[in-house]
Chain A
Amino acid sequence: MNIAVLFAAATAASVFRIVPLACDGDRLVVAGAGVLRLADGVTCAQIVPGRAIAVQLDDGGRATPQRLPPDALPAAKIPRTAYVLAPAADRDADETQLVTTTIDVIVPARTPPSDDIYLSTERTSWSPAEVRMDRVDARRFRLALQLHRGARLAFRVTRGSYGTTERDASRMLPPAHVAAGEPDAHVTVVVAAWADID
């Protein structure tokens, strides 16, 4: 089996979701990837830079824009051999993907048992009661968030007010924690103390 056959097998009936950066003549620049060649007869007329479209690759690796199907593969799956101008290194992250990131918070034993635990994030200018966490047991709370892959969410832990923000073991304000938008990412935060207790 030669390379051309392998390439054809990999791309046959495969539709890829891409973000075009530019289209000039028969060249289509794919964001975060390389430069594809358009199939014969295809023009740049229906391509809007920055707006996601689907392309189907023929046996020769030439691209034909398509309607965007829900099951289109990410641009990272385009075979490197399809590019007439390939990047120095492949990227394998699909940034369109919504991934679940789980945050576990373990609170100190002195936490009032009836208090709720909240995340405070930069998204609300650090509102102290932004997202209420779900209780797991007496001292563990959990929140699952859907983030775009590659996202980074900075957060702190509170009991619902500015005066009940977490402190570190030295009773100092800790730097923000970061939840990363990666598949099955899991962050565990152990709260050493609260601003209003101890």
Chain B
Amino acid sequence: MLRDDAFARTAAIVVLTACAVLSPARAFARATVSLDGGSIVFFSDTLSVIARDGATLRLADGTRARGDAAFIDLRTDRAVLAGHARVTRGGATTGADAIALELDGDRVDLLDASTGVTSTTRRLGAPAPAEFDAARFDFPDVDDRGAFIRSRHATITPHADVRFTPAAFPTSVGGLPVPSYLYTYATAAGFGASSLGGATFDQPYGLFGSPTSLTALHARWDDGPGPAIALQQQIVSGDAAYAAASIDQPLRGYSVRGLNAYRRLGTRYTAEADASSTIYGTLMHAALTAAFGNAGGRMDYTRTSGGASSYTASLRTPDEPLFGGITWRLTGSTGFDAQRGGLLFELPDAHDFATVWRNGLDLFLATPVVRVPLGATLATTLDAARTWYAFPHHFDTLTGTATASRTFSRRLSLFAGYQATWSADVYPGTQSLFYPAPIAPLLLPDGTPYYGYAAFTGARTYRAENAALQITPDINTSYRFSVVHTSDFPQFDGFGRPVWEVRGDIRFRPFPNIGLDVGRAYDFDWGGTRWQPRWSFAITP
């Protein structure tokens, strides 16, 4: 265990350190563009950077351009210098009323209000008459109050990111200043990947970036551990591959180190690997997926530093039509579960069962969304699965869901749902060995005995009914109120899911450039507390 844990920790730290060290070097090695201005505003939806009150643009090849104002379109890598514009390279210089140039190209267009448009190159040779292309001299008409970021200096890595120094996020009641902010606009899929676990709130803060990498700090908050700081390094190769390594350190609690990698193998296969390590041990997982038309398969292998491992290989059919729009899908699987020292520890000869193979079948049925009386719609699913083990043991589950919706107007909708799962963990002939009747009643977190637990012999029931009201008064505002009631077995005060949960969510835009999504949930009369509140929080540009 210690050896695996130490290995995972060392691997994560080595990868993270190497990436963190190499990534800035790569970023700085790339051709960058810098823009200075008396003021700079950035608009995230149009990827527009606008400098006013005197603008200076510096390109990687030594070209300098000045103007009263400047606009850089990050989508097209195009810059426009407006008013008393001059461009200089080495000893050559030329001026015009406005100058348009490409950040990653050679062309330079000069617009003179009296004589029209001429064109030259970055070498600033003699300009030649050119067509007046209005699009090349576009300069967006923006309201600075809607800017996402205000700054005075911007450093741009084309197709990747822009760093603002300093940066302020303006609101109508002031701006939140930070010394520097890296905004990444690269769209490769790997930038959307992470080796960090889920969190109630996660706000990344880019440190270093390039078209193929990003080093970021994450300010996080989660129920339980509370606030945390995480460092993550991503290395990306387009949509085809990525690797991410991270260290998540809550202010109280233990750190979590993570690793996550993905690689597309041709047009049919993918390979994935992930690992996480805490003081309790290390969990490693690798997977291969394959697609054959709409059918597919996958192999998963999981191993822990505690000596547990599992392997599953599965094949699935496509979603096939049955009748009336209903579809079915069958998944078959085989694999094993293993535990060093014995898997079935309830048995006196547990060490003989260190590895237990299993086979499974899963049938999934889904109806389409259909219209039902009262102007509502309804969709249902049914999932039946059985797993057989190479030991007198099988595990059955049957899950049904139904979701109804009723739209009263464009602004008001009502939803209701029902989900139920019945499962049975069956050991023919040895049931009482694996689910023995408790000698003493189970004690709940508040100290009260749960006598009903004595009836639990491996069969579980999970039932949940939920209703939600959704109100969207305008495009920027959405309210949602929901109630969930569960009726499970085994379930008692503090054991299992809370019986009642009430939740409210609001998504709104208090400022033109900042939106908020705030949620508040309560579990009622559960585990000895009258109610247990939870928050969720997200900031939207």
Which positions in A face B, CB cutoff 8 Å? 17-25, 27-29, 31-35, 48-52, 74-75, 85-91, 95-96, 100, 109-110, 113-114, 120-132, 134-140, 144-148, 150-154, 156, 158, 160-163, 165, 169-176, 181, 198
Contact = CB atoms under 8 A, between A and B. Distances in A.
Interface in B488-539: 505, 507, 515, 517, 538-539
B216 A125 contact: yes
Measured as residues with beta carbon below 8 angstroms from the partner, the interface class of chain B is 35 or more
Given A122-B184, A129-B538, A146-B476, A152 B401 contact: no
A165 B540 contact: no
Interface stretch (B128-136, B347-355, B423-431): B128-136
Given A49-B68, A173-B189, A31 B296 contact: no
Given A50-B82, A163-B198, A124 B133 contact: no
B206 interface: yes
Given A20-B83, A31-B140, A165-B192, 5 more contacts: A34-B132, A125-B214, A134-B478, A148-B46, A176-B189
A123 B401 contact: no
Contacts of A181: 45-46
Interface string B387-416: 000000000000001011101000001010
B89 interface: no
Contacts of A123: 44-45, 148, 540-541
A85 B84 CA distance: 19
A88 B83 contact: no
Contact of A153 (B45, B291, B319): B45
Contacts of B133: 87-89
Contacts of A128: 192, 194, 202
B413 A135 contact: yes
Contacts of B111: 21-22, 29
B196 A162 contact: yes
A63 to B, nearest CB: 12
B472 interface: yes
Chain A at the B interface: SS class: loop
Contact of B67 (A49, A109, A113): A49
Nearest to B141: A96
A172 B291 CA distance: 9
Nearest to B464: A114
B513 to A, nearest CB: 10
B203 interface: yes
B435 interface: no
A129 B142 CA distance: 28
B172 interface: no
Nearest to B406: A137
Interface stretch (B4-12, B223-231, B301-309, B374-382): B374-382
Given A24-B114, A123-B541, A138-B405, A49 B83 contact: yes
Q: Which of A29, A52, A125, A160 has the largest number of chain B CB atoms within 10 A?
A: A125
Interface centre among A33, A91, A126 (most CB of B within 10 A): A126
A109 B326 CA distance: 11
A138 B134 contact: no
Nearest to B364: A110
B267 A156 contact: no
A192 to B, nearest CB: 9
A119 to B, nearest CB: 9
B240 to A, nearest CB: 8
A170 B267 contact: yes
A148 B68 contact: no
Contacts of B132: 34, 85-88
A50 B45 contact: no
Interface in B426-443: none
A34 B187 contact: no
B407 A136 contact: yes
A163 B285 CA distance: 13
Contact of B239 (A29, A146, A173): A173
B68 A50 contact: yes
A130 B540 contact: yes
A150 B76 CA distance: 12
Contacts of A22: 68, 82-85, 97-98, 111, 113
27 contacts: A21-B97, A22-B82, A22-B98, A29-B113, A49-B82, A50-B71, A50-B82, A88-B133, A91-B135, A96-B140, A109-B379, A113-B381, A114-B419, A122-B184, A123-B44, A124-B539, A125-B206, A126-B191, A127-B203, A131-B538, A134-B470, A136-B413, A137-B403, A162-B193, A173-B190, A175-B239, A181-B45
